[in-house]
């Protein structure tokens, strides 16, 4: 869920309740503030209240792309990210497409980087490349000039986002987490699921010790063996009637905003007490799983399959499904999130020689 200020919205409080209205059209927005539905409704109202873009301009290209199947196929969260780039480009809607050149893109990249930061500069460049490719197919542009513009590298002076968790941090968080929050963290920690998948995976996705699902981001079918420690955490979790594996303190499926708030406050308390370092995120646990599997000797192909990062053809999918499941069980069995297996080897080095 988006958290922050939304332009063009008026906040009204009446009889103890808060309502939101689109300023230009004076239309009340009924979706929850900041939700994907809210952002999409604002974008729809904004688009409907904008004057028609002149032919042959950047505004015309943006409007045409937003009416295309490519836009409608995007997930709500992706549309929100694109809309943030379109907001930056709004003052430039009248620019003729003949001026859409690499030099203009490079200058805009640097200007946005100075004013809005590196992430937004990279986002604007990426979205410009997408709509330029769309324009090239329509023969509105002879080529995609963004391809000739270098992207900005990560600022090496700033800490890396979504860093992997240390073994002690994993142990501390799992032990300190409330009973209703622990299963969600464990799904990310032991199965490497993205946060969206953690919150939406259904109970019937787990059968015979295997978690099977389509990933929300790429639509890749994964079959992830349930790690013994994850199985124990799920078995000891509070019972609830929600269809999802994880639920909030009321026994209901999590909303993204509710989980973000609860998880953020919980991690914040651990940081303030000095029990964990700053920078722990749910997505960082995907890096943690990948790192631990690599350290345990799993090859890159197995790691990609576990994390849903590799797409296979349908023939391969059906022909080697059983073999992949067997290999995946062996791969996940190597996963040592808390560093316990390495500690045992250090305490009893002779056991390795015997094996």
Half-sphere exposure of 316 (CA within 13 A, CB side): 7
Closest CA to 185 of 335, 285, 307: 285
- Given strand 17-22, what is the order of strands in its sheet? 9-14, 17-22, 27-29
CB-CB neighbours of 274 under 10 Å: 7
Distance (Å, rounded) from C-alpha 182 to C-alpha 197? 15
**Predicted TM-score of the model (pTM):** 0.60
Consecutive 10-residue runs of the chain (355 residues): their mean pLDDT?
65 82 81 77 68 81 95 86 93 93 95 92 96 96 95 74 88 96 96 93 94 85 90 96 96 92 96 94 89 76 71 30 50 68 59 47
- The alpha-helical segments, DSSP class H, found in the chain are 36-49, 58-66, 69-72, 76-89, 102-116, 118-137, 167-176, 182-191, 195-200, 228-235, 256-272, 284-295, 300-307, 314-319, 321-333, 340-347, 350-354
Strands, DSSP E only, in the chain? 9-14, 17-22, 27-29, 206-207, 210-214, 221-225
Q: What are the residues facing 27 on neighbouring strands?
A: 22
Instruction: Judge residue 121's burial from the number of C-beta atoms within 10 Å of its C-beta, 0-12 exposed, 13-18 middle, 19 or more buried.
Output: buried
Quick one: tokens of 194? Answer: 């993205």
* Measured distance CA(142)–CA(140) in Å, rounded: 7
* CATH among 3.60.20.10, 1.10.443.10, 1.20.1050.40, 3.20.20.150 for 167-354: 1.10.443.10
Fold of 53-158: DNA polymerase; domain 1 (1.10.150)
Q: Rounded to an integer, what is the distance from CA 237 to the centroid of its chain?
A: 25
How far is 36 from 18, CA to CA, in rounded Å? 18
Cα(122)–Cα(137) distance, integer angstroms: 23
Q: What is the reported pLDDT for 312? A: 34
Looking at residue 342, its pLDDT comes to 61
CA distance 68 to 84: 18
Residue 159: the pLDDT is: 66
What pLDDT, on a 0 to 100 scale, did the predictor assign at position 289?
Answer: 86
What pLDDT does residue 136 have?
96
Here the tokens at position 57 are 């301009």
Can you give the residue ranges of every domain in the chain? Answer: 1-49, 53-158, 167-354
Same CATH fold assignment for domains 53-158 and 167-354 = no
């Amino acid at each position: 869920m988006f958290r922050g200020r939304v332009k063009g919205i008026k906040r009204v409080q009446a009889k103890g309740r808060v309502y939101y209205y689109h300023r230009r059209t004076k239309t009340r927005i009924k979706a929850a503030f900041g939700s994907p539905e809210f952002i999409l409704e604002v974008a729809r109202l904004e688009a409907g209240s904008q004057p028609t873009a002149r032919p042959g301009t950047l505004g015309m290209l943006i409007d045409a792309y937003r009416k295309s199947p490519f836009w409608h196929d995007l997930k709500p969260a992706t549309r929100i990210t694109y809309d943030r780039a379109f907001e930056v480009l709004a003052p430039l809607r009248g620019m003729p497409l003949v001026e859409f050149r690499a030099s203009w893109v490079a200058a805009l990249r640097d200007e946005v980087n100075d004013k809005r930061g590196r992430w937004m500069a990279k986002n604007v460049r990426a979205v410009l490349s997408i709509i330029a490719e769309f324009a090239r197919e329509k023969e509105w542009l002879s080529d995609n000039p963004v391809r000739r513009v270098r992207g900005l590298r990560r600022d090496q002076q700033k800490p890396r986002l979504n860093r992997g968790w240390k073994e002690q941090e994993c142990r501390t968080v799992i032990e300190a987490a409330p009973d209703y929050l622990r299963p969600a963290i464990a799904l990310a920690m032991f199965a490497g699921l993205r946060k969206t998948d953690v919150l939406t995976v259904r109970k019937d996705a787990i059968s015979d010790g295997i978690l099977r699902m389509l990933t929300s981001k790429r639509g890749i079918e994964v079959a992830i063996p349930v790690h013994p420690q994850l199985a124990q955490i799920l078995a000891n979790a509070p019972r609830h009637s929600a269809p999802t594996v994880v639920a909030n303190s009321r026994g209901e499926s999590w909303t993204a905003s509710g989980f973000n708030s609860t998880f953020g406050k919980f991690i914040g308390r651990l940081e303030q007490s000095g029990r964990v370092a700053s920078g722990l995120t749910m997505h960082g646990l995907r890096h943690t799983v990948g790192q631990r599997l690599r350290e345990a000797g799993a090859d890159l192909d197995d790691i990609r399959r576990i994390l849903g990062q590799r797409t296979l053809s349908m023939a391969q999918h059906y022909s080697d499904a059983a073999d992949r499941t067997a290999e995946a069980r062996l791969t996940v069995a190597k996963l040592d999130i808390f560093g316990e297996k390495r500690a045992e080897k250090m305490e009893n080095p002779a056991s390795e020689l015997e094996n």
